[in-house]
Amino acid sequence: MTDESIGLVIRNLHATVENKEILKGINLTVHPGKVHAIMGPNGSGKSTLAYALMGHPGYQVTEGEILVDGLNVTNMEPNERAKHGLFLAFQYPHSIPGVTLANFLRTAVNSVKGEPVAPREFRQKMQDKMKLLRMSNEFGGRFVNDGFSGGEKKRAEILQMAMLEPRYAVLDETDSGLDIDALQIVAEGVNALLGPERGILVITHYQRLLNYIRPDFVHVLVDGKIVREGGPELALELEKVGYQQFETKLVPV
């Protein structure tokens, strides 16, 4: 029997952007050790879901709730959600000129952990995680995402995930803009971070990412609602027939 107090639980979530309703009642539970994939066409609400989960101020939750292992985080600030184990890897990571990646990561880790990490311990851990993602040590001295290629930006996002060790990680279209080599490296990094204590929610348009990060469950999001759910085979079906079948006639879950 499943313990309902464990998991990233999304209950009847409604959210608006600029007074327009985008999410129309999302119900989903991500348990530790499981990989869930959200798939859907452009404009279906995938990124809205990601931002609403993390507490972006531009995305207003009007109904429903978000719970992390039984704790209601719906009204918490993003930094508080991070402290309770939530993490978001952005589709379009921002550049922060003047702030080195190492300093950024150390500040983030200290904030989430609630206490300072010894410099030597932090440096060793960062170097180990960078090696895992095939990132040279000089990356730590570069300004965050400033002049980074698309693949470097996404690897930097996964490096943040590796350093912060979240309980639940949301990956918002991590495959966007990546060539096949960069995609494989990023996927290898994500797979290395999988384990019984971490749940992953992968948001993507395409099945190709799921060739490398194999989901336990696939959910189809159309017009702000989950219209179908299944196993990995559902992603393969979508690759063949697309989303039009759901856009013309919503299929009950």
Q: Which of 148, 147, 126 is nearest to 137 (CA)?
A: 126
* Residue from 122, 194, 187, 195 nearest 151 by CA: 187
- Tell me if 98 is assigned to some domain: no
On whether residue 109 sits in a domain, the answer given is no
CA distance 176 to 190: 15
- How many structural domains are present in the chain? 1
Q: What is the pLDDT of residue 82?
A: 96
Q: Where are the beta strands (DSSP E) in 52-167?
A: 60-68, 71-72, 86-89, 96-100, 143-144
Instruction: State the CB neighbour count (10 A cutoff) for residue 164.
Output: 18
Q: What is the pLDDT along the chain (253 residues), one digit of tens a residue?
A: 345 678 999 999 999 999 999 999 999 999 999 999 999 998 999 999 999 999 999 999 999 999 999 999 999 999 999 999 999 999 889 999 999 999 999 999 999 988 999 999 999 999 999 988 888 989 999 999 999 998 899 999 999 999 999 999 999 998 888 888 888 888 988 998 899 999 999 999 888 888 899 999 999 999 999 999 999 999 988 888 888 777 655 444 4
Please give the structure tokens belonging to residue 228. 């179908």
Asked if residue 51 belongs to a domain, the reply is yes
User: Whole-structure pTM over 0.95, yes or no?
Assistant: no
196: domain range? 8-92+166-248
Does residue 171 lie within any of the structural domains?
yes
pLDDT value of residue 121 = 95
What pLDDT does 4 receive?
60
Q: Quote the pLDDT of residue 209.
A: 87
